Structure 1
């Protein structure tokens, strides 16, 4: 099951939360958004107009998504976003916030590259879900997250509780196969075919169970109350439920 915030790896040991840039001139709403994001597991940076937004980006803020009010005191949020994209930040997703439910403005925002459009007033919980959905769609480094276990297919790296776990190639392939088939019962034959390939027909009877046991020890699955890898009696194994 995914956590309530998208996690991004920072290239070092451990992890950092996705950072959201808030560009909203209503100070009360701006702070309410910041608090809601932080409670939801995100980091947040705030700007109150176009000038501050540009400064925020020029200061090297490593942002993963922008929340942009369409009507700002020193300009239009849609024009601001177009300028941001023209100036080299090609892949910074944005959700626009507005008090006006106008089709023309909504279409203009999507034409500018908006990933979503939210009309005020809105429920914070709904906005958080929209943020999660956008980040999942736009994140190039796809990551499987199950409680505090992270599997990074692009980097072939695994973390649990922020600590990297060193696996053999076979153990990693097995874990990734489990992660990509969360909730499904996987038989020994399916595992052999997908993880061992043509070599599967030559392995010993207990190879799968031995490798799974070794994997469970390495990821600390035997030390937690709710194990991720479960035996399904007489059938095989199920992961993540």
Structure 2
């Protein structure tokens, strides 16, 4: 998913950029109203907007950016000002965060907004985005097509990130009560096919020697 970060504080902007990329988001950056109008397009899934910008305010900028399409937004401000908060909500803001804030809190609020605005669960690892309700997998904005077992394997990996999954666990997840009749080496074959389709993102799935596999950094 693509997140637009509009923040004039370079240190905070860099911190947001680094944090979101580590979580698998794609970012588009701007440090002013002018840059935002030039860089932010309709493919952005969520905006993080600083209310105070060097060439104007984030509220009027947001009004301009959403003329052609509604884009969810979380506003940032250094001022705990009720008037700003109410004005932001009046023009369609989805949430509001007062600086300084915890990155973990911001990430959780982002998840809530994205779930509410898309109406479905979204799971991410690196640039791999999985939509379980529609059984769809994207890398960035490009959809990749998997077989049923490849999809089920990716879903198992991505919903258990950073955990070691043994071949026996994977076998049981993919085949259930029929797993005893399946050659365990089949798992290596499916993992290999899945990694090939993931391309550069295949690095997210690692072989844990003598144990199994783990997805995530």
Residue 21 of structure 2: which of 38, 41, 46 is its match?
38
Question: Match for residue 65 of structure 1?
Answer: 46
Tell me the secondary structure at the aligned position of residue 67 of structure 1.
strand
Question: Match for residue 11 of structure 1?
Answer: none
Matched, 1:129 2:129: no
Measure the CA separation in 1 of the matches of 2:130 and 2:54.
42
Measure the CA separation in 2 of the matches of 1:78 and 1:117.
12
Measure the CA separation in 2 of the matches of 1:149 and 1:74.
35
The C-alpha deviation readout for 1:189-240, integer Å capped at 9, x for no partner, is xxxxxxxxxxxxxxxxxxx8449988x979959x9848xxxxxxxxxxxxxx
Shift of 1:157: 4.5
Judged with a 3 Å threshold, the aligned counterparts in structure 2 of structure 1 residues 84 and 167 are, in CA distance, closer, same or farther, namely same
Shift of 1:167: 3.4
Judged with a 3 Å threshold, the aligned counterparts in structure 2 of structure 1 residues 65 and 107 are, in CA distance, closer, same or farther, namely same
Judged with a 3 Å threshold, the aligned counterparts in structure 2 of structure 1 residues 107 and 65 are, in CA distance, closer, same or farther, namely same
Question: Match for residue 133 of structure 2?
Answer: 153
Gaps (5+ residues) in structure 1? 1-17, 183-207, 227-241
Q: What pairs up with 1:155-234 in 2 under 5 angstroms?
A: 156-157=135-136, 164-167=145-148, 209-210=177-178, 225=212
Shift of 1:152: 3.7
Measure the CA separation in 2 of the matches of 1:212 and 1:61.
49
Matched, 1:24 2:7: yes
Task: Select the structure of larger CA radius of gyration.
Answer: 1
The C-alpha deviation readout for 1:31-79, integer Å capped at 9, x for no partner, is 121112122222211101111000012xx47211111010111111011
Shift of 1:103: 1.1
How many residues end up aligned between the 2 structures? 169
Shift of 1:113: 0.7
Tell me the secondary structure at the aligned position of residue 66 of structure 2.
helix
Is this contact kept in 2: 1:24–1:49, CA < 8 A?
yes
Question: Match for residue 100 of structure 1?
Answer: 79
RMSD: 3.9
Measure the CA separation in 1 of the matches of 2:129 and 2:66.
34
TM-score of the two chains, using structure 1 as the length reference? 0.56
The C-alpha deviation readout for 1:6-53, integer Å capped at 9, x for no partner, is xxxxxxxxxxxx121111111121112111212222221110111100
Matched, 1:47 2:30: yes
The C-alpha deviation readout for 1:69-113, integer Å capped at 9, x for no partner, is 101111110111111122x022x1100000110111111111111
Matched, 1:56 2:58: no
